[in-house]
Amino acid sequence: MRKNRPIKLKIDTYNTNIVIEVRRFKPIDTFRVIKLASITLTEQYNPSIFTYFYETYPQGFLVAEQNHKIIGFITGVKISMSIAKILMLSVDPAFQKKKIGRKLLDEFLKISIQENVEKIELEVRTDNTKAIKFYEKNGFKKVGKIKEFYQDRKNAYTMRLNFKGDP
Ligand SMILES: CC(C)(COP(=O)(O)OP(=O)(O)OC[C@H]1O[C@@H](n2cnc3c(N)ncnc32)[C@H](O)[C@@H]1OP(=O)(O)O)[C@@H](O)C(=O)NCCC(=O)NCCS
């Protein structure tokens, strides 16, 4: 697959065809991604962290775009030769439940396989039922719990997807 080639996904919304493209994050997207993160994610992030993610693992930072507007993103890193970690996943509330999260995750998984990753891990708030359901539906399993993981001292589940089978 050619690097950076946009992946077109047609989604039928309110009887109107909207086309979503999933592509690699570019530095020009930073402001919109920060804005989206501040709306959808509970943690407060230093804006420089997004540049850091991009510089560390650009192939794992993807955005979903509709009419040149960023409506979702996923970012992750490789933490060892065979394990990748999803650090953030976010879809604009106006576009949630339209399989955009699924598409971003699928593209991240495809890239991970190309990068010889065997397991994908992530942390999710234990009370984020929506995201837990989303990850379970996409093959992730809860494999642990971390107490006081977040800035507000709330707990996290560690979830894992193992391409080789066992969690
Ligand atoms: C979690 C999130 C990324 C899901 O993205 P999305 O585009 O809305 O999800 P999809 O449309 O691809 O959903 C796929 C499946 O996930 C589950 N799911 C998604 N949203 C859900 C909701 N509100 N309630 C229950 N299940 C939900 C469903 O099983 C759904 O399948 P279905 O539509 O056949 O029922 C999105 O809700 C989001 O950005 N949430 C806020 C940020 C967040 O919590 N990120 C994860 C932090 S680790």
Is any atom of ligand 1 closer than 6 Å to the C-beta of 131? Answer: yes
* Closest by CA position to 102, among listed 26, 7, 30: 7
Q: What is the pLDDT of residue 109?
A: 97
Amino acid letter, residue 100:
I
Question: Residue 40 is encoded by which pair of tokens?
Answer: 């959808």
Q: What is the pLDDT of residue 7?
A: 72
pTM of the model: 0.92
Is any atom of ligand 1 closer than 6 Å to the C-beta of 75? Answer: no
CATH code of the domain occupying 7-117: 3.40.630.30
User: Backbone phi, then psi, for 114, in 5-degree steps?
Assistant: -60, -30
Å from CA of 40 to ligand 1 middle? 12
The domain segmentation of the chain, as residue ranges, is: 7-117, 123-167
Q: What is the pLDDT of residue 34?
A: 96
Q: Mutation test of ligand 1: which of 96, 124, 125 has the most ligand atoms closer than 8 Å to its C-beta?
A: 96
Which parts of the chain have pLDDT scores under 50? 1
Q: Which residues pair with 70 in a beta bridge?
A: 65
Q: Tell me which H or E stretch contains 62.
A: strand 61-66
Task: Report the nearest-CA residue for atom 15 of ligand 1.
Answer: 134
